[in-house]
Amino acid sequence: MSNLLISRSADIPDPLRVARARSLPNLGPRLLFLSGGSALNDIARQLKLYTHNSMHLITPFDSGGSSQVLRQAFDMPAVGDLRSRLMALADETELGQPNILRLFSYRFPENASADALENEFATLLSGEHHLMRAITQPMRRLILSQLRAFAERRPHGFDLAGASTGNLILAGGYLTQDRALEPVLFLMSKMVDVRGTVRAIVDDNLGLGAELEDGQTVRGQRDLTGKEVTPITAPIHQLFLTRDGARLPVASVPLPKRNRRLIERVDLICYPPGSLYTSVLANLLPAGAGRAIAARNVPKIYLPSLGHDPECLGLTLPDQVATLLAYLRADAGEDCPAEALLNAVLCDAGATTLDQRQAIEARFGIPCLPLALTRTERPDRYDPDSICAMLISLT
């Protein structure tokens, strides 16, 4: 779709196209989201009403919370954000698997004693826990086999406080599937009838690091986001991948062929809300990501986060667009035209200024469309219905 066509904001949302999608979501368009974290989950839940063919490439580099406990115990990629997106896309009706969904979404209490946590875990393993009893055979047997694989391998002293049951089951499946995420993600998606496709951008136990403009080097996604620890005090100069804390050479981690093929089939690509560096740009670090995106002639949309992003220290909205294009061109080539990588910025009319929109169009030749994308009662959050309607209309 050309910038000329996509800039005709009066044409979106298209009521007929939206109504058609909602009437036949199983035939809906293939929308690709390059994301991480939970920022997109509310939109993903609503998206199920419009299409069952959305595709989500997720960063498995989280270094905080219960995901990090599993990473340290088993030397594995982070699974929390993958599980979270699977649950957001699961069929939540009685026609789906609501009992399995409740089990996968359950977390052990944060403040319970170690004995109480172990006792509750034992009831899960025996099948006597009320969440496990609610699941019928043979599905219960299959889930228990993965949970028991985790239990057999977990190190002494593994802390269950705040642990997600779904994450533990994913970990058990990962360990029994020759340490591969793809098979167990596929299996979990079938268990809860996920209305879309969820994959890790790479199936490898890697981390994130960044050089800051003041010369500091920060390692770990948790230390970059500024949500669980003190935010960074200087702008990010360069984001990179790490293995065991050591910086990996540029282009040393290839985009898996299955994900490249996924990109080749999409009808729209969205760089969605979320922490700009650790949730969005991290997906562009594998070699081949930028080239695969540039090669696909479909609408490519940036939907910037609302509110304050601690990772974007000192960056205006036009600066964020420039940063996104720079990371794409690092792989696609410095001479790759902007319109091959990004066709439009969708922004809430109340969250951007005319000067910002004009600067984006002047610097990059990319339309920045001021639209009504939030509700009055929650101006800091995108309205999921509005976002879904806009994206469906652009396909």
- In 3D, which of 324, 235, 238, 210 has the Cα closest to residue 274? 324
Query: Within the chain, which residues score under 50 in pLDDT?
Result: 1-5, 7-8, 10
Residues 46 and 79 in one domain: no
What does the pLDDT read at residue 4? Answer: 41
Q: Is the pTM of this model over 0.85?
A: yes
Residues 107 and 186 in one domain: yes
What residue numbers bound the domain in which 279 lies?
Answer: 3-59+203-393
Any idea what the CATH number is for the domain that residue 291 is in?
A: 3.40.50.10680
What does the pLDDT read at residue 251? Answer: 87
Residues 144 and 207 in one domain: no
Residues 91 and 166 in one domain: yes
What does the pLDDT read at residue 233? Answer: 94
Residues 298 and 385 in one domain: yes
Q: What is the DSSP string of 279-304?
A: IIGGGG-SBTHHHHHHH--S-EEE-P
Residues 188 and 260 in one domain: no
Among the candidates 144, 160, 195, a domain finishes at 195
Residues 80 and 30 in one domain: no
Decide if 81 contacts 37 (C-beta within 8 A): yes
How many domains is the chain built from? 2
378 three-state secondary structure: strand
d(CA 273, CA 277): 11
What does the pLDDT read at residue 11? Answer: 60
d(CA 187, CA 96): 15
Among the candidates 139, 161, 195, a domain finishes at 195
Residues 115 and 247 in one domain: no
Among the candidates 149, 168, 195, a domain finishes at 195
Amino acid present at 277? Y
pLDDT digits (tens, 9 = 90+) for 223-281: 998 877 899 999 999 999 999 999 999 889 999 999 999 999 999 999 999 999 999 99
- In 3D, which of 240, 243, 218, 242 has the Cα closest to residue 231? 218
Residues 222 and 185 in one domain: no
What does the pLDDT read at residue 6? Answer: 58
Residues 166 and 224 in one domain: no
d(CA 140, CA 133): 8
C-alpha separations of 185 from 89, 109, 172, 253, 305 in Å: 13, 25, 12, 21, 27
What does the pLDDT read at residue 10? Answer: 46
What does the pLDDT read at residue 378? Answer: 84
Residues 136 and 240 in one domain: no
- In 3D, which of 64, 56, 25 has the Cα closest to residue 40? 56
Alpha helices (H) in the chain, listed in sequence order: 3-6, 15-23, 41-47, 65-74, 80-89, 98-105, 114-126, 130-133, 139-153, 165-176, 181-191, 221-225, 257-264, 289-295, 317-332, 354-364, 384-393
Decide if 201 contacts 283 (C-beta within 8 A): yes
Residues 124 and 157 in one domain: yes
